[in-house]
Amino acid sequence: MKSYKIAVIAGDGIGGEIVAEGRKALDAAASRENFRVEYKEFLMGGAAIDAVGVPLPEETLQGAKEADAVLFGAIGGEKWDALPRNLRPETGLLALRKGLDAFANLRPVKVYDSLLEASALKPEAVRGADLLVVRELVGGIYFGEPRGRDEKRGFNTMVYSDFEVERIARAAFAAAMRRRKKLCSVDKANVLEVSALWREVVARVGREFPEVELTNMYVDNAAMQLVRDPKQFDVIVTGNLFGDILSDEASMIAGSIGLLPSSSQGAKGGIFEPIHGSAPDIAGQGIANPCATILSAAMLCEYALGEINAARRIESAVEAVLDSGLRTSDLARFGAKKRVGTSEMGEAIKERILAQC
């Protein structure tokens, strides 16, 4: 029997509650697909600050490097907001991504028929929408040099090398090959030299994937098209800044951030996490929506372990449970037949996985 090592980082706030449900689903899928998952827990974020004084202990980084993948909950909270920036919980996550060279951030957005009314857009605009935003995560304007500020000005530098563009483009084309084989590259090539390079390199990589239809779109138009007609998109690839904005915009299409998973991947493994935060205001109440974390576990199966059947089992179980009318509090206004808590939702999804053919 195949066995995989998963580093588990629950983090802060609701992190422990939602990760527990992600593990349930992962274990259930593993049992159906005849592989084993071994977990080892690590600290990061506020929990690590409280325990050892730093947001990312060396033990956690090393454990993540040795694992096949990282299943992560969420970090942060007001308790640590007054700390210097380099000691805040979020610094730990940035350092983990950098330490793993997790350069590709994948954020799928799928609209479920049973939750059409939950979307911020009209049902007819979003019915059938199913897209993936691939964001370059460790380069661009957030990391470019020089940067700084004085009393009268501030400056940042947007820089991309052809190597950085090439590897994120290749990841996006590979993702498109798993889907409907359409890729839209988003840039601002009409005014930015760095975007002109981006477009040239993406086109060059595209010649390696002749089955994928490649289109280009300026970022301002892409922002408009996402809310006008999200169904036109399959996979979107873009840089760090544009991807940060567009992926958050796209998250509103589905109706709740409690439904949206993500992964941050490098050459090996990756970090799999819900896109939402630690929600300390509801921590410990058992009402958080675990679906995003459970779907992140599905992405872990597909992208880190290569267990595609296990991923599909988890995804179909989530959809079936939502279709049955179970709703956590964030979705209770939309077609709820029964309102459930975090653990009950996770248990229902687990049982649905175990009951599948």
Which residue type occupies 41?
E
Query: Active site includes 81?
Result: no
Pairwise CA distance, residues 53 & 62, whole Å: 17
Pairwise CA distance, residues 271 & 261, whole Å: 11
3-class secondary structure, 189: coil
3-class secondary structure, 217: strand
Options 98, 142, 182, 231, the catalytic residue: 142
Which residue type occupies 32?
R
Query: Active site includes 234?
Result: no
DSSP collapsed to 3 states, 136-157: ECCCHHHCCCCCEECCCCEECC
Distances from the Cα of 257 to the Cα of 61, 150, 172, 250, 253, angstroms: 27, 37, 23, 10, 10
Contact partners, residue 152, CB within 8 Å, separation at least 6: none
Query: Active site includes 142?
Result: yes
Q: Rg of the chain over CA atoms, in angstroms? A: 20
Options 12, 68, 187, 244, the catalytic residue: 244
Pairwise CA distance, residues 202 & 206, whole Å: 6
Helix boundaries (H) for the chain: 15-33, 46-52, 58-66, 89-99, 123-126, 162-178, 193-206, 219-228, 240-254, 291-299, 308-323, 342-355
Options 50, 113, 220, 281, the catalytic residue: 220
Pairwise CA distance, residues 137 & 97, whole Å: 8
Of 229, 119, 137, 233, which Cα lies nearest the Cα of 183?
233
Query: Active site includes 248?
Result: yes
Pairwise CA distance, residues 219 & 228, whole Å: 14
Options 24, 110, 188, 350, the catalytic residue: 188
Options 113, 229, 248, 281, the catalytic residue: 248
Of 4, 157, 5, 10, which Cα lies nearest the Cα of 92?
10
Distances from the Cα of 156 to the Cα of 15, 144, 197, angstroms: 33, 7, 19
| Active-site residue list | 142, 188, 220, 244, 248
